[in-house]
Structure 1
Amino acid sequence: MQQLRRLGTGIGWRPEIAEAVERMPGIDWVEAVAENVCPGHVPESLLRLRERGVTVVPHGVSLGLGGADRPDESRLTALAERAEALGSPLVTEHIAFVRAGGPLTASPLLEAGHLLPVPRTRDALDVLCANVRAAQAALPVPLAVENIAALISWPGEEMTEGQFLYDLADRTGVHLLIDVANLHTNHVNRGEDPSKALDELPVEAIAYVHVAGGFERDGVWHDSHAHPVPEAVLGILADLASRVAPPGVLLERDENFPGPAELERELAAIRRTVTRARARATVGAGTRGGVTYAPTPPKAITGDGVVPDPGAAGRPEHTAAAPVEPATGVEDAARQRLALAQAALLSALVAGTPAPEGFDRVRLGVQARALAAKRADVVAKVAPELPEILAEVYRPAFLAYAQGHPMSGGYRRDALDFAEHLLLAGLPESAETRLLREWWLERSGPAPLSRRPGARLVRATRRVLLGR
Structure 2
Amino acid sequence: MRLGIGIGWRPEIAAEVEALTGIDWVEAVAENLCADHLPGSLVRLRERGVTVVPHGVSLGLGGADRPDPERLAGLAARAELLGTPLVTEHIAFVRAGGPLTASPRLEAGHLLPVPRTRDALDVLCENVRIAQDALPVPLALENIAALISWPDEELTEGQFLAELVERTGVRLLIDVANLHTNHVNRGEDPAKALDELPVEAIAYVHVAGGVEKDGVWHDTHAHPVTAPVLDVLAELRSRVDPPGVLLERDDAFPPGAELAAELETIRGTLRSAARAGTVARAAVPPSSPVAPAAAAPAAAGAPAASSALPTPSAPSAPSGNERDTEPLGAPRPGARDRTAVAQTALLSALVAGTPAPEGFDHRRLRVQSRALAAKRADVVAKVAPELPEILGDGYRPAFLSYARSRPMNGGYRRDAMEFVERILVSGGLPDPVAQRRLTHWWEDRSGPRPPGRTTRLVRAARAVLVGK
| TM superposition score normalised by structure 2 | 0.90
Residue of structure 2 in register with 1:54 after alignment: 50
The alpha-carbon deviation at position 354 of structure 1 amounts to 0.5
Aligned to 1:228: 224
- The CA deviation string for residues 133-190 of structure 1, in whole angstroms up to 9 with x for no partner, is 0000100000000000000000000010000000000100000000000000000000
Letter paired with 2:89: E
Which digits, 9 at most, give the CA deviation of each residue in 1:374-406, with x for residues without a partner?
111111111111111111111111111110000
Structure 2 vs 1, CA of residues 171 and 33 (structure 1 numbering), >3 Å: closer, same or farther?
A: same
SS of equivalent residue, structure 1 residue 359: coil
Q: Distance in 1 between matches of 2:276 and 2:433?
A: 66
The residue aligned with 1:444 is 446
- 1:223 and 1:356 map into 2 onto residues whose CA distance is 24
The secondary structure found in structure 1 opposite 2:280 is: coil
Question: SS where residue 6 of structure 2 aligns?
Answer: strand
What is the CA-CA distance between 1:432 and the residue it aligns to?
A: 1.1
Q: Secondary structure at the match of 1:101?
A: strand
Correspondence for 1:155 among 151, 155, 178: 151
SS of residue matched to 1:178: strand
Task: Report how far residue 41 of structure 1 moved.
Answer: 2.0
Given the alignment of the two structures, is residue 211 of structure 1 paired with residue 207 of structure 2, yes or no?
Answer: yes
Q: What does residue range 338-417 of structure 1 map to in structure 2 within 5 Å?
A: 338-417=339-418
Of the candidates 79, 83, 93, which is equivalent to residue 79 of structure 2?
Answer: 83
Q: 2:201–2:310: 8 Å Cα contact kept in structure 1?
A: no
Aligned residue in 2 for 1:297: 297
Contact persistence 2:349–2:355 (CA under 8 A): yes
Change (3 A) 1:339 1:294: closer
SS of the counterpart of 1:358?
coil
What amino acid is the match of 1:258?
Answer: P
For residues 457 and 156 of structure 1, what CA distance do their matches in structure 2 show? Answer: 47
SS at match of 1:39: coil
List aligned pairs for 1:425-464, cutoff 5 A.
Answer: 425-427=426-428, 428=430, 430-445=432-447, 447=448, 449-450=449-450, 456=452, 459-464=455-460
Match of 1:144 among 118, 140, 155: 140
Q: Secondary structure at the match of 1:224?
A: coil
Per-residue CA distance 1:181-204 (angstroms, 9 max, x = gap)? 000000000000000000100000
CA distance in 2, matches of 1:57, 1:358: 39
The amino acid across from 1:113 in the alignment is G
Contact 1:142 1:317 (C-alpha < 8 Å) held by counterparts: no
1:124-135 → structure 2 map (5 Å cutoff): 124-135=120-131
Report the CA distance between 1:280 and its aligned residue: 1.8
Following superposition, the deviation at residue 295 of structure 1 comes to 2.2
Matched, 1:265 2:271: no
Q: Deviations over 1:408-460 (max 9, x none)?
A: 01111101100000000012462111111111111112x2x14xxxx645654
- Can you list the C-alpha shifts for 1:233-272, whole angstroms capped at 9, x where unaligned? 0000000000000110000000001111111111011111
Report the Cα distance in structure 1 between the residues aligned to 2:435 and 2:112, rounded to whole angstroms: 36
Question: Once the 2 structures are TM-superposed, how far is the Cα of residue 284 of structure 1 from its aligned partner?
Answer: 3.0
Structure 1 residues 354, 140: closer, same or farther in 2, change over 3 A?
A: same
Match of 1:177 in 2: 173
Report % sequence identity: 69
Residue 276 of structure 2 corresponds to residue 274 of structure 1: no
The one-letter code of the counterpart of 1:172 is T
Q: Deviations for 1:73-106, whole angstroms, at most 9, x for unmatched residues? A: 0000000000010000000000000000000000
1:90-124: CA deviations, max 9, x gaps? 00000000000000000000000000000000000
Instruction: Give the CA deviation at 1:327.
Output: 9.8
With 43-52 and 126-135 compared, the bigger mean Cα shift is at 43-52
Equivalent residue, structure 2, for 1:310: none
SS in 2 for 1:100: strand
Structure 2 CA distance, aligned partners of 1:329 and 1:144? 21
Q: 1:17 to 1:328 in 2, by over 3 A?
A: closer
- Once the two structures are TM-superposed, the CA of residue 127 in structure 1 deviates from its matched residue by 0.2
Secondary structure of residue in 2 paired with 1:40: coil
Write the letter of the residue equivalent to 1:104.
Answer: L
1:300 is displaced (CA, Å) by 5.5
Query: 1:328, 1:23 → 2: CA distance?
Result: 46
Contact 1:444-1:458 within 8 A present in 2 as well: no
Distance 1:295 1:209, change over 3 A: same
Distance change in 2, residues 1:344/1:212 (3 Å): same
CA 1:117–1:19: 2 relative to 1, 3 Å = same
Cα distance, 1:62–1:329 mapped onto 2, change above 3 Å: closer
Q: Of residues 233, 238, 248 in structure 1, which corresponds to 2:234?
A: 238
SS at match of 2:238: helix
**How far off is 1:278 after superposition?**
1.2
What residue number does 2:286 align with? none
Structure-to-structure mapping, 1:289-328, within 5 angstroms: 294-299=294-299
Question: Aligned pair 1:115/2:111, yes or no?
Answer: yes
Distance 2:300 2:68 in 1: 33
Does the residue aligned with 1:41 lie in a helix, a strand or coil? coil
SS at match of 1:56: strand
Task: Tell me how far apart the structure 2 counterparts of residues 397 and 27 of structure 1 sit (CA, whole Å).
Answer: 41
Q: Is 2:421–2:454's contact at 8 Å kept on the other side of the alignment?
A: no
2-side partners of 1:109 and 1:296: how far apart? 46
Please state how far the C-alpha of 1:464 moved relative to its aligned partner. 4.7
CA distance in 2, matches of 1:29, 1:421: 44
Q: Shift in Å at residue 281 of structure 1?
A: 1.6
Contact 2:167 2:315 in 1 (8 A): no
